[in-house]
Amino acid sequence: MIDQQQIQSVKNRFEIVGNSPLLNRAIEMAIKVAPTDITVLILGESGVGKEAFSKIIHSLSKRKHAQIIAVNSGAIPSGTIDSELFGHEKGAFTSAHDTRKGYFETANNGTIFLDEIGELPLDTQARLLRVLENGEFIKVGSSKVQKTDVRVIAATNKDLLQRANNGKFREDLYYRLSSVTIKIPSLRERKEDIPMLFMKFAYDFSDQYRVPPIELTPDAENLVKEYSWPGNIRQLKNIVEQVSILETERTINTQILLNHLPEEQVRQITPVSDPSNRASNNFDERELMYKFLFEIRKDVADLKTMVYGMMSGQGYTPSTPPTNDINRLLAAGNVHEDFVQHEEMEQDAEVSIENLSLHDQEKEMIKRALSKHHGKRKTAAEELGISERTLYRKIKEFNLENF
């Protein structure tokens, strides 16, 4: 049984930050499988830290004193991948001036980490399957069978079974690789860990570049938790480094952070679906609607007051005469009949406004704010009393991108 102390010890050793149950489960599986020689398939999106888990498994295994070789299968040209993995004999091809050992020969008694294994050519997959089955391989340009004792840890961000169904990956290799599968969660799946990771990187870069560490405002912290982080930890680390170097402010608000995120991704920011986020969105929309209605009613009331003041010769005053007192005022001779016509017009306008759909009212409110501030969305959002995220979403919903 793996206890929390063991998991925390691994986190400290490999500088893994976070307390997500999904992350802890992945670490627990790595600890359990490490003492065996079983093949492991690590699944996860790009940038989640799959290579770190291969190092955990190797360092806790009986092979820890031998070397671990990491190979990015997708970065090696298909014409040379066999030579890289299995070696070649002198004269095997034009540039083969000497005999060369491949990774499987070099890492004998150790571990090979094959990242992006879904990118391997089919011929190379057949060679790899032979190594996994009986530890045998043949160098390029040779007919001699050689033996190796290597543990294979593979990783991918692709659906290998789907690729197998499409004829791009050997189904028998898939089942041989996936004896044990460890799924590394994306940042979207452990959003509670993101502020801690941000802070860790901020202090790391503070030490590296000898600058004060940056910190997030509450709104900015919410933004980093809601952002999708398609590049996961790698992208988060790069953003923290950019902000640490380029910004003079050490307290980072939402606008500063948005300046460093890709615009096309920022426009698509939506909170991870959970009840609290949905409630927050609904509150923003209700607040926008209430603000719109109150401002329209205030405009109508002010217009009534102005007309009343002009007709009575008293000038503009903030108080508005009650509608049902107009006949009394007329009878007393204090108000001209034109005022009644103005009042009726305003009542008609008010009824017309109330008959607008909520959709149209929201759209009109946003158009007015954007027009007033010459398309500056940050200022328009402040005017409307909503977050920039909500405004971006509404602009897209109402097709106001070019407004």
In a domain, 202, yes or no: yes
**Is the same domain home to 204 and 114?**
no
Q: Phi and psi (nearest 5°) for 90? A: -60, 130
CATH code at position 72: 3.40.50.300
pLDDT of 342 higher than 50: no
In a domain, 175, yes or no: yes
* Cα 256 to Cα 141: distance, rounded to the nearest angstrom: 57
User: Residue 100's beta-bridge partner residues?
Assistant: 88
In a domain, 402, yes or no: no
Kindly indicate the confidence band of residue 388, based on its pLDDT and cuts at 50, 70 and 90.
confident
Domain edge (last residue) among 140, 161, 185: 185
Domain edge (last residue) among 243, 266, 289: 266
* Cα 180 to Cα 29: distance, rounded to the nearest angstrom: 9
The pLDDT, as a whole number, for residue 264 is: 63
What does the block give as tokens for 102?
A: 């491949």
**Is the same domain home to 317 and 211?**
no
Domain edge (last residue) among 185, 203, 218: 185
* Cα 87 to Cα 96: distance, rounded to the nearest angstrom: 10
Farthest-apart Cα atoms in the chain, separation: 118
- Residue with the bigger pLDDT between 17 and 286: it is 17
In a domain, 403, yes or no: no
The pLDDT, as a whole number, for residue 381 is: 77
User: Residue 146's beta-bridge partner residues?
Assistant: 137
Kindly indicate the confidence band of residue 316, based on its pLDDT and cuts at 50, 70 and 90.
very low
In a domain, 93, yes or no: yes
The DSSP line for 269-283 is ----S-HHHHHHHHH
* Cα 287 to Cα 146: distance, rounded to the nearest angstrom: 72
The pLDDT, as a whole number, for residue 225 is: 94
In a domain, 387, yes or no: yes
Q: Phi and psi (nearest 5°) for 68? A: -115, 130
What does the block give as tokens for 146?
A: 């050689």
The pLDDT, as a whole number, for residue 359 is: 64
In a domain, 173, yes or no: yes
Rounded to two decimals, the pTM is 0.66
pLDDT of 252 higher than 70: yes
Residue whose pair of structure tokens reads 């200022």 in the numeric block: 379
Least confident of 141-150, 156-165, 221-230, 381-390: 381-390
Rounded to 10°, the helix 388-397/377-384 angle is 100
The pLDDT, as a whole number, for residue 371 is: 82
Nearest to 140 by CA among 76, 94, 74: 94
Chain segment 168-191, per-residue pLDDT in tens: 999 999 999 999 999 999 999 999
Beta strand spans in 25-142 (E): 40-43, 68-72, 111-115, 136-138
* Cα 369 to Cα 377: distance, rounded to the nearest angstrom: 9
Give mean pLDDT, residues 190-199.
Answer: 96
**Is the same domain home to 13 and 109?**
yes
**Is the same domain home to 135 and 231?**
no
Give mean pLDDT, residues 216-229.
Answer: 94
**Is the same domain home to 30 and 112?**
yes
What does the block give as tokens for 174?
A: 């898939």
**Is the same domain home to 118 and 44?**
yes
Give mean pLDDT, residues 11-34.
Answer: 96
The burial class, CB within 10 Å (0-12 / 13-18 / 19+), for 44 is buried
Least confident of 1-5, 60-64, 139-143: 1-5
Q: How many CA atoms lie within 13 A of 109 on its CB side?
A: 4
The pLDDT, as a whole number, for residue 2 is: 84
What does the block give as tokens for 170?
A: 């050997």
**Is the same domain home to 287 and 317?**
yes
* Cα 346 to Cα 344: distance, rounded to the nearest angstrom: 5
**Is the same domain home to 173 and 60?**
yes
User: Residue 114's beta-bridge partner residues?
Assistant: 71, 154
pLDDT of 49 higher than 70: yes
Domain interval for residue 27: 4-185
* Cα 342 to Cα 306: distance, rounded to the nearest angstrom: 11
**Is the same domain home to 87 and 13?**
yes
The pLDDT, as a whole number, for residue 377 is: 81
pLDDT of 294 higher than 60: no
Highest mean pLDDT: which range of 24-33, 89-98, 331-340, 366-375: 24-33
Average per-residue pLDDT for the chain: 82
- Residue with the bigger pLDDT between 126 and 269: it is 126
pLDDT of 165 higher than 80: yes
**Is the same domain home to 234 and 370?**
no
Chain segment 64-122, per-residue pLDDT in tens: 999 999 999 989 988 899 999 999 888 777 777 788 899 999 999 999 999 999 999 99
Chain segment 119-164, per-residue pLDDT in tens: 999 999 999 999 999 999 999 999 999 999 999 999 999 999 999 9
Burial 188-200 (b: 16+ CB within 10 A, else e): bbbbebbbebbbb
Share of the chain above pLDDT 90, in %: 58
**Is the same domain home to 389 and 290?**
yes
In a domain, 345, yes or no: yes
Alpha carbon 332 to its chain centroid, in Å, reads 69
The DSSP line for 297-337 is HHHHHHHHHHHHHHHHTS---S----GGGHHHHHHTT-S-H
How many structural domains are present in the chain? 3
* Cα 117 to Cα 73: distance, rounded to the nearest angstrom: 6
- Residue with the bigger pLDDT between 39 and 344: it is 39
Share of the chain above pLDDT 70, in %: 75
**Is the same domain home to 146 and 200?**
no
- Residue with the bigger pLDDT between 328 and 85: it is 85
